[in-house]
Amino acid sequence: MMPSMSTTLPDQRARREHVVLRVCRELVNRAPLLLPLVVVIGVLCGGSVGWSTACVALTAALALRAYRVLLCAFLCGAIMVLCQALRQRAVEELQITATPPPVSVELRGTVIRLFNRSCIVETDPLGVRVMVYGSPQVEPGDYIHIVGAPRKVEKPLVDGMFSQAEWMRGSGIAASLQCLRVEHEGSTLGYASLLRVAADVRSALADRLMPHGTANDVRRQVLCALVLGEKERADDSTIDIFRRGGCLHAFAVSGLHVGIVAGILWMLLRLCRVRPGWGRPVQLIGVGLYVFATGMDVPALRAYVMLAVLMGSLILRRRPSYLNAWCFAAILILMIQPWQLFQPGFRLSFVVYGAICLGVRYGMSDTPWFGPDSYIPVRIRSLRERLSARGELFVRGAVVVSMCAWLVSLPLTIAHFHVVNTASYLLNILIAPLLPVVMSMGLLLLVFAGVPYLGGVVQAGALSSAGWLVSLVGMFGSIPGACLPATSPAPAGDYMVMPFGYGKSACVLGNPGILVGDAPKKNDARYVLQPALFHAGYSPALCLAPRDASTRKLYSQTWPDLCFLTTPPGSKPQCFTTPAGLFTIFPPPADLPVSYSANASPIICWQRTDGQRFLFIGNAAFSTFESLPADFRHADVLFLGYNSHEPITAPSLLRKIGMKRIILLPAARDHRAELSLPPEIVQP
């Protein structure tokens, strides 16, 4: 007799619910700290979503009758709430974020980090982090007394530009001050002093890898960045090679580096016939010294904490749980530095590691792709079959693990860096066996750099392996489409103005079009102009040659097909055609004094494919405008700056141009009253 549908469906539903409950209970048993981690993240995120997530985690622990997990999650959440309240109270006591802000603020704290003439000061471990600009010579670990004026945090004027507010949030900085007076009151022996010692140690070790006179060697730059995390010694071109290849993560000391160092130490201890009971503590100490020497970055600390937990479980003869160790490391770091939750390095480190663990678990349980039959016992396999089985396991694990890591990191890479590396999946598989070789040779070079004969052999091996790595990454990064922007390209007829401050600006007309204006500094081009154009989807085809050679080199690296134009006074007009339209560049007249840099500015006429005309006068002199042919003095849209020697401000002259809209560049905004134009056509 067949069972009725009314009795079958409830039974199936009950069995499914039973399976889900069993899987959840097994997950909590394997990783008791998973639900406390969810609670901590929910508290830090805040808002309705964050608090709802924390409540769901607590409810899940109660429903699964995991009362010890429930108690741990509640305590972790309570500690995070208390710490957040103490930090907020410290901010309110200093009145830094008050409205209106005070004239001056007085505080005492420890210098945590330096940025040229700026520094980060922390009042106490649960207090306030403040960015101080214009501070005199200080060192990390100094305890100072500061009197400063609050600075306003400006929002980026163009999407894609550097956002100081987002950076401060990710660094745990509550506000910024302009230093008025500072007094040294001694030094501390806390975390900041350890960072200073670690920086000195790393610099000394980097000098062994990069002796005096070898700073331009790309191979040594890669060794310093890969072995020690010393990215500051790598040129922009070297960084760009690995960024285009999608392998820039190799320059940040993380679980990969810690794992390689731990494996090398373990092999050395085994060769010295050290017992595992003594070898594990020695290995832990050695890896800890390496993490300390490389600057104690969050990815390295995550890997070291997990290694310490797993080593402790082996020493205590407990069953290790990688997922539980992962949760413990995340909770520990977030308890100490909660702002790390908003850092790309923290997110990528923990999320990618979780994806790697899932990939390893799936790859080990999957059926073999090739090689001998898995049902054949290992003891009766031939040597060829054993080698084939090991090779199959390596290939299967590399493909599955790399795919999991690439798929998980792709959304984070798009969100934080607005780029997609299409070739990074295959490239990371190919460099996986090469990275341990480069790391091992680099570590050997640190030890034997000054030894006669042996040091030369080790140096040759280290430089050769680093050169292979650079060649492989550069080959994949140069493939067309290897690095694609994650933003849609701007329309051909669009334009954008980027201000730099001090009345300076740059403008891009059309896509692909012409880039007008010169960044005052290389950092302006690198952190303002380049990311703004990349985020907006512009790829200029023409550019007025920058005065700074380093800025020109940066433009060439960003847009390899960019054509640089020179406009000497008295030269003939130049015409160029792109999909955006026709561009005509008019240089200044020969008899115009060019001792003033503004007088050397040309005028550009852009006629779009739809017939609309744009006239970019910028900071050009009145004599340059007068030298234009009569047919080019009429435009629908006018870009106007200000020339301090021969300004173009006559209202009658501007009206004769017949523009329907005038866009004032930053240099002309202070002289807006001199134009006497109808406000409806003026666009700042």
**76-101 pLDDT, tens digit each:** 999 999 988 888 888 887 777 777 77
Q: Are residues 83 and 110 in the same domain?
A: no
Q: Where are the alpha helices (DSSP H) in 31-107?
A: 34-45, 47-63, 67-94
Q: 154-201: per-residue pLDDT in tens?
A: 776 666 566 777 888 888 888 888 888 888 888 777 777 788 888 888
Q: Are residues 184 and 84 in the same domain?
A: no
Q: 46-58: per-residue pLDDT in tens?
A: 888 889 989 989 9
Q: 496-554: per-residue pLDDT in tens?
A: 888 876 677 888 999 889 998 777 777 778 777 888 888 888 889 998 878 777 788 88
In this model, does residue 680 exceed pLDDT 60? no
pLDDT band for 465, please (50, 70, 90 cuts).
very high
Domain assignment of residue 44, yes or no: yes
Domain assignment of residue 365, yes or no: no
**Where residue 540 sits, what CATH number does that domain have?**
3.60.15.10
Lowest mean pLDDT among 45-49, 225-229, 316-320: 316-320
Query: In the predicted model, what is the mean pLDDT of residues 231-240?
Result: 83
pLDDT at 112: 84
pLDDT at 2: 46
Q: Are residues 30 and 146 in the same domain?
A: no
Domain assignment of residue 634, yes or no: yes
Rounded Cα distance, 465 and 393, in Å: 25
Q: Are residues 141 and 177 in the same domain?
A: yes
**Where residue 116 sits, what CATH number does that domain have?**
2.40.50.140
Where does 415-454 show beta strands of DSSP type E?
419-421
pLDDT at 671: 60
Single-letter amino acid code for the residue at 534: F
Q: 281-306: per-residue pLDDT in tens?
A: 888 888 889 988 888 888 888 888 88
Rounded Cα distance, 169 and 464, in Å: 42
Instruction: Quote the domain boundaries for residue 53.
Output: 16-93
Give the total number of structural domains in the chain: 3
Rounded Cα distance, 308 and 12, in Å: 45
Report helix, strand or coil for 579.
coil
Q: Are residues 649 and 661 in the same domain?
A: yes
Q: Are residues 113 and 87 in the same domain?
A: no
Q: Are residues 121 and 34 in the same domain?
A: no
Rounded Cα distance, 211 and 229, in Å: 17
Q: For all residues of the chain together, what is the average pLDDT?
A: 81
In this model, does residue 3 exceed pLDDT 70? no
Domain end point (choices 36, 61, 93): 93
Domain end point (choices 41, 71, 93): 93
What are the phi and psi torsion angles at 184 (to 5°)?
A: -80, 135
In this model, does residue 393 exceed pLDDT 90? no
Rounded Cα distance, 459 and 464, in Å: 8
Q: Are residues 26 and 160 in the same domain?
A: no
Q: Are residues 112 and 86 in the same domain?
A: no
Of the candidates 526, 532, 559, the one whose C-alpha atom is nearest the C-alpha of residue 543 is 559
Q: Are residues 672 and 637 in the same domain?
A: yes
pLDDT band for 251, please (50, 70, 90 cuts).
confident
Report helix, strand or coil for 264.
helix
pLDDT at 476: 87
Domain assignment of residue 261, yes or no: no
Domain assignment of residue 337, yes or no: no
Domain end point (choices 162, 188, 214): 188
Query: In the predicted model, what is the mean pLDDT of residues 415-436?
Result: 83
The reported pTM is 0.77
Q: Are residues 80 and 142 in the same domain?
A: no
Rounded Cα distance, 226 and 220, in Å: 10
In this model, does residue 75 exceed pLDDT 90? yes
pLDDT band for 5, please (50, 70, 90 cuts).
very low
Domain assignment of residue 392, yes or no: no
Domain assignment of residue 596, yes or no: yes
Rounded Cα distance, 524 and 60, in Å: 50
Q: Are residues 646 and 581 in the same domain?
A: yes
Domain assignment of residue 27, yes or no: yes
